[in-house]
Amino acid sequence: MTQATHLVLGQSIPGNSILHRLHPVLKILILLAHCILIFQFNTSKELLAVILGELILIRILPFSIRLLFLGYFPFLILLGFTFFMNWISFASEIPESHQISFSFFGLAGTEEGLERGIFYSLRVLSILLASSLLTLSTSSVEITYALDKLLKPFKRLGFPSEEFALMMSISLRFIPVLFEELKKISRAQEARGASLKRGSLRSRAKVLKSLMIPLLQSSMQRADQLAMAMEVRGFDPQRERTSIQAHQIQWLDAGIISGYLICMYLIQGNLIR
């Protein structure tokens, strides 16, 4: 991944940090456990402590935090929407015990709503940062390997675990590719005089249509090329595949898991008051 690329989701950074050396299966399990534990926190201070720890871990990677937030700008808009939806409510539905900060057109904001909006926004941000730690430090091959191992018990029930893991990995890695393709198409359309920043709503809809159709066509072409490349290399979904890397649980993995659990235990009501 290049520093010039702003999209973070679906991209990985080569490196040799402790996050890169962590077993890929344990990374996914830690992420799942993290998402569950985050919902056990009850205060914004606890979530802020978790987010601070996540930012420190991101600094270990050869990646700028500034570029991280630029890449997650659409999600930051979602965070803002989450914040205002929890802060502002109908004035008629606000309990009398709540202190109203402002009101307009039948809507009002309260101090309790402000605290609730900050809390839920921090919760979503924490999950986004944790997901970034996984994708930035784990290659698509490792994600496929980890998902295959985690879903292999369901194979006895007829679930195609290997095909599902490969599909999820390819879908994740296609996100930045399609994003770059959309940027190229957008620049080409702007050079022809089309723009989403000016004109009526109808004209902008036509411009959007001129972006989506070439993007869909390019996506189909890339998928077809990928399918042919896999077929040429002898890919057979019915045959059991092996991994080029032998992933084994090491003392580093046990140490990181222990450190993570200890930190979460200290944060959850025992250290942050």
* Cα diameter, the chain: 70
pLDDT tens string 79-124? 888 777 777 665 555 555 565 565 666 566 677 777 888 888 888 8
pLDDT tens string 227-257? 888 878 777 766 666 666 667 777 878 888 8
Q: Phi/psi of residue 160, each to 5°?
A: -75, 80
- Residues with Cβ < 8 Å from 65, sequence gap 6 or more? 55, 58, 59
- Which residues in 32-50 are b (16+ Cβ under 10 Å) and which e? eebeebbeebeebebbbbb
Would you state the pLDDT for residue 201?
A: 67
Across residues 58-65, what is the average pLDDT? 74
Say which residue the tokens 């045959």 belong to: 239
Burial tier of 255 (Cβ tally within 10 Å: 0-12, 13-18, 19+) = exposed
Would you state the pLDDT for residue 2?
A: 43
Q: Residue 3 — pLDDT band, cuts 50, 70, 90? A: very low
SS (H, E, C) 37-53: HHCCCCCHHHHHHHHHH
Would you state the pLDDT for residue 191?
A: 77
Q: Provide the token pair at 84.
A: 């205002």
Q: Note the Cα 107 to chain centre separation in Å.
A: 32
The better pLDDT of the pair 63, 135 is held by: 135
Across residues 18-44, what is the average pLDDT? 86
Would you state the pLDDT for residue 102?
A: 54
The DSSP secondary structure of 79-138, one letter per residue, reads HHHHHHHHHEEEGGGS-TTSPEEEEETTEEEEHHHHHHHHHHHHHHHHHHHHHHHHHHHS
Question: In Å, what is the CA distance from 12 to each residue of 19, 112, 255?
Answer: 12, 39, 23
The better pLDDT of the pair 11, 159 is held by: 159
For the chain, give the percent of residues with pLDDT over 70.
Answer: 74
Would you state the pLDDT for residue 162?
A: 76
Residue type, 136: L
For the chain, give the percent of residues with pLDDT over 90.
Answer: 0
pLDDT, mean over the chain: 76
Across residues 16-28, what is the average pLDDT? 84
Q: Residue 61 — pLDDT band, cuts 50, 70, 90? A: confident
Given its phi and psi angles, is residue 195 left (phi above 0), alpha (psi -120 to 50 degrees) or beta? beta
**Residue 22 pLDDT exceeds 50:** yes
**Residue 50 pLDDT exceeds 80:** yes
Distance from the first to the final alpha carbon of the chain: 40
pTM of the predicted model as reported, rounded to 2 decimal places: 0.70
Whole-number Å distance between alpha carbons of 269 and 273? 6
Cβ atoms 71, 9 nearer than 8 A: yes
Would you state the pLDDT for residue 5?
A: 46
The better pLDDT of the pair 9, 81 is held by: 81
The better pLDDT of the pair 127, 194 is held by: 127
Cβ atoms 27, 150 nearer than 8 A: no
